Each structure stands twice: as structure tokens, then as C-alpha cells.
Structure 1
Amino acid sequence: MRAPRGQHFLIDRRAVEKIAGFVDVSGRRVLEIGPGEGILTRALLERGAEVIAVEIDPALVEELEVTFADEIERGRLDIIRGDARKVDLPPFDIVVANLPYSVSAKITFRLLSIGFETAILMYQKEFVQRMIAPPGTSNVGRLSVMVQTYASVKPLLELSPSAFRPKPQVRSWVVRVMPHEPPYPIVDREVYADVVRVLFSNRRKTVRKGLQSGRAAFPPGTIEGAILDLPAELLQRRPQDLSLEEFAMIANRLTGC
């Protein structure tokens, strides 16, 4: 079977067994994004999961419907054809997925906004390194701040290109993502997300200049008021040097708190 839309099929069965076994899925509703040929789908079903598989490619959906016809009839597998970034999703408890590399960030943000108990997700290694990058390091960015604000990420397994068909040009990491409440109070999560986005869109500028450059994203006058209320030392720093607490402080000032 071909690999559509840049997808790389996981073929290493030992890796599949490890991934499917990182969390107890028995009797749980498990969301799988990008099931491909269904090798991980089968491992999850064998462990007693009720699987919701979201696949964007119609040819793969047809193949999966034939391969897993019995499981679909028994109500243990629901295959949804669509884009995981925007398709309606039924309730689920756990996520186990080999995410398409090209849309990893958007799907991750969506999953965090929906909520789940735990997720076992596969990403490009470099992507994970950005997810877990601490403040003040070269890899820190919007992804780092947004993920670390709402979840903890723990690498579990590294896979070489030979674990896939066709072989990607990069190594992959499987991680456990555990949602948690923000470590510091955030009055308005949408404002917080806008602050992080605006500042990292102007990452070479100071916080002051970055906020001023992105004033169109906020109600009139709020940027000027926040700048007057924020510590001068903070305003002179770059976004990659800010802590999660300081991002929360900026966002809360913009909401008048």
C-alpha cells in the first residue's frame, strides 16, 4: 500500500507492542489519529480498547473497513474519515497515535484544548526537543510554552527511520503527554495564547516591542496599559527568556488583572 500525504507507516512490530503497552487501554475509548494500515489499531484492539480511528485518506479508510470489518460490526472500532485538525470527534479517554509530522503542532494544540487523560504520541524527534525545551535555550518557542503550560511531556522511546515504510529522513520519539492545570493562574486562556503567539512571532524583539508590534491582536489601549504596569526589566527581555509565570503575568495584565 502506498504512503499517502507524506505519511510513514510504522512497520516495527516490537515498537508497536511497546507503544500499545505504555498505557492500559483495556475497556477504554482510545483515539488513534492516522491509523494508516492499522498495525497499531490491531494492537490496541487486542488489548481490549474501543478504538476511534481518524484517517484522512479515503483509500486507507476503505482498506481499514475491509480489514477490520468484524471489529466494526461488533462496535469495537469506529473509523472516521476526515482531517483530525477539524473533524468532529466523539468522546474519548486516551490518545495513542503516530501523528503525521506535518500537522503535529495543530493536532497537539487541538487535543490539549479538548482534554484527555493521557496520550502516547509519536513525533519527529526535533519536534519533541522543542516541546520540552526550557526557557533560555535555543529550541524554546511557542510550542514549548503552550505545551508546558497545559501538560507534562516524557520521552519513552526513540525510533530510527528503519521502523517505517517509507523511511523518513528523521528519527522519531514516542512520548507520554499528561495534561495538567497551568502552574500559574491564567485569567483568559485565549489572551494567553495570543500573547505567546504574538511574542514568538517577534522573537528577536524585546517584549515591549513585540507587544507593540502585535497590538492588532488585542483590544485598543490594552497594550499601552499593560506596558505601563509591567516591570521594566521584563519588558527589555526576549520572549525565549521568559518563564511560564511571566507569560501568565503579561496575559493577565492585558485582561486588566
Structure 2
Amino acid sequence: MLAQETSQLLKKHQIRLDRRKGQNYLTNDHILAKIIENAQLNDSDVVLEIGAGIGTLTLPLAEKSSKVVAFEQDKRIVRVLRERLHELGISNVEVMEGDATKMEFPYFNKVVSNLPYQISSPITFKLLNYNFDYAILMYQLEFAQRMVAQPGESNYSRLSVMMNLCTHTELLFNVPKNAFLPPPRISSAVIKLTPKKNPQADKFFANTCRALFQHKKKKSGKALLQSFHEISDLNLDRTTIRDLILKLDPELTEERVFKLNEKEILTISRELKELMEGYDEKNG
């Protein structure tokens, strides 16, 4: 039913979907129902949806919540979405036209989205700056697996560290390619992401993570030395940087980056930040 409805709407409005823009519309009724079920919505929820498209998720979200804030960038698709909402008499959806990575989000307490794949990373990190109950989000399977990866695993990454430190992240279920129109080249997965109450990541921590994971198979001390420019824009010579790193916990600086857990990386970040502040005071 959903597949037929989607095809008819696109044909009616003469819209050809663009894979490059992440326009892969969910057409599987069973998967849609599972997403809505996992969202556990009630009539007091304000739901944020990013990449609303023609309203596949938007309509059932509006039915079960107080309000939906729906972001969509494609002007043609926005017109279709607004027309559908008007025809169905749905008045509790606020359609936000524009790039969700560059716009402020109004109040929301839950997020439910089939994210455009090319903005998965910036949107995920942006969401960490907001307070909300939890998010039910669809990603590329590979990206979702990196989100839940643990130290020592091959797909453990900077993303994994940030998720482990700032959220409780659970991979709920996989989604096959044929659940979409047009079918993407890769499989997908739905993630439940719940922010932790006291996130400890600041910009310095994020920069330290970025520096470390540019050389994930090297010892962390060497990785920091080679990518210190990611952490500080101070014009420090290599000897000074090495001296700072030598003052860090040697058990941590001798460990391979991909084996460090989020708390160990947090320790490195905090120690290095203190050393940098001391250096600034001494040489400022």
C-alpha cells in the first residue's frame, strides 16, 4: 500500500528522486510500523523529523503526537508535503524548508527520522547539543555499526567514542535495500539514541578524538604528536609538543588508539587540556 501510494504521488507531481540527495523513500509498511512503535509517542510529544520528504513518516507521527517539526530542503518536495497536509486537514505539522545542518531546531523532545545519508554525521553531532528524550533514526548500516562499535573492533571510530560517551545507543533492527524507492546501494539500520544526562564531551575532547583517530592503529602518543594541529592552533615546535605528550599517563599514550575506550580518551583530553592551559600561563 505504501509503495503504491508513494509511486502515485511522485508520478502525479512529476518528481524524480535523486539518490545523491539521499532521496530514498521508505515504502515498506512493516518497517514504518516498527519505527513508529519504537518511538512510543504520546499526545504530549513534540517530534523533530529531518528529511521529511513527502510525509511517509510525518503523517503517522502527526497522528500520534502533539506536534511535528518537519525539515525538508527540496523545494518541490516541500510543496508536495504541504499540499498533502492541507488535503488531509493535518494542522499540527510545522514544515521547515531549508538545510537542517545550518538551521536552529525549535523545541522538541523526541526525534524520529529517516535521515538523508549524506548528512548523517553532522546531524548526529548537532543533536548532541540539544536536550531531548531519545531519537529513533535510520542510517546506512555501516554508519549505524560504527555508532555502536566498541574498543578493539575494526569499525571502532571517533563516532563510536562520541556515542559511547554522550549517549546510550542501540541498534534496533536492519532494513533491507528493497524497503525503499529507489533502492539504495547499501542496507540500512534503525538506531535508538538516548542522550546521557551529563555529557562530558567539550570541543577540546572532540578535537583530541579527531587527532587520535587520524592514526587509529598507532599508539596514542604518536597519534597526538602527528596530528597535534587538530587540537591546538598554537605555533608549537615538535619538541614542545613531544614534551607535553610525555607528561600524559604513559599507560594511555602507549596504547593503540583503537583499543582506548571513551573514558580513557576523556582522561587524555583532560590531562592535555590542563597541560596546555599551564603552558599558556607560563608562556603567555
Measured after TM superposition, the shift of residue 181 of structure 1 is 4.1
User: Aligned residue for 1:213?
Assistant: 226
Among candidates 17, 26, 44, match of residue 3 of structure 1: 17
2:264 paired residue number: 246
Shifted more, 231-240 versus 63-72: the winner is 63-72
Aligned length: 253
- Radius of gyration: which is bigger? 2
Is the CA contact 2:172–2:190 (under 8 Å) kept in the aligned structure 1?
yes
Asked whether the 8 Å contact 1:205–1:238 carries over to 2, the reply is: yes
The 2-side partners of 1:172 and 1:13 are apart by 16
Shift of 1:33: 0.6
2:39 match: secondary structure = coil
Once the two structures are superposed, what CA deviation does each residue of 1:141-179 show, in whole Å capped at 9, x if it has no partner? 111011111001112222111110001122111111111
**Displacement, 1:123?**
0.8
Corresponding residue SS for 2:190: strand
- Taking the TM superposition and a 5 Å limit, the aligned residue runs for 1:12-23 are 12-23=28-39
Three-state SS of the structure 1 residue aligned to 2:103 is coil
> 1:241 & 1:136 partners in 2: Cα distance?
5
Note if contact 2:165-2:263 (Cα within 8 Å) is conserved in structure 1.
no
Q: Is the 8 A contact 1:25 1:49 kept in 2?
A: no
Cα contact 2:216–2:256 (8 A) shared by 1: yes
Query: In percent, how many aligned pairs have the same letter?
Result: 36
- Say whether 1:39 aligns with 2:53: no
Name the aligned partner's letter for residue 10 of structure 1: L
Contact 1:72-1:78 at 8 Å conserved across structures = no
> Conserved in 1, the CA contact under 8 Å of 2:249 and 2:268?
no
- Give the 5 Å matches for 1:145-164: 145-164=161-180
Aligned pair partner of 1:202 in 215, 218, 229: 215
What value does the CA root-mean-square deviation take over the aligned residues? 2.1
- What residue number does 1:237 align with? 255
**Structure 1, unaligned runs of 5 or more:** none
Residue identity matched to 1:167: P
1: CA distance between counterparts of 2:243 and 2:148? Answer: 32
**CA distance in structure 1 between the aligned counterparts of 2:126 and 2:22, rounded to whole angstroms:** 21
Residue number among 166, 184, 195 corresponding to 1:168 in the alignment? 184
* Partner of residue 95 from structure 1, selected from 111, 130, 147: 111
CA shift digits 1:43-89 (9 cap, x unpaired)? 11121341000001111111111111267873x11000111111121
The amino acid of 1:201's aligned partner reads: Q
Distance 2:25 2:205 in 1: 36
Determine if contact 2:162/2:262 at 8 Å carries over to the other structure: no
- Taking structure 1 as reference, are residues 32 and 39 closer, same or farther at Cα in structure 2, changes over 3 Å only? same
Match of 1:28 among 45, 53, 56: 45
CA distance in 1, matches of 2:197, 2:232: 24
Deviations 1:84-103 (A, max 9, x none): 11112111110000011111
Structure 2 gaps, min length 5 = 1-9, 11-15, 276-284
Give secondary structure in 2 for the equivalent of 1:255.
helix
What letter matches 1:21 in structure 2? E
| Aligned partner (choices 193, 206, 216) of residue 177 of structure 1 | 193
Distance 1:206 1:182, change over 3 A: farther
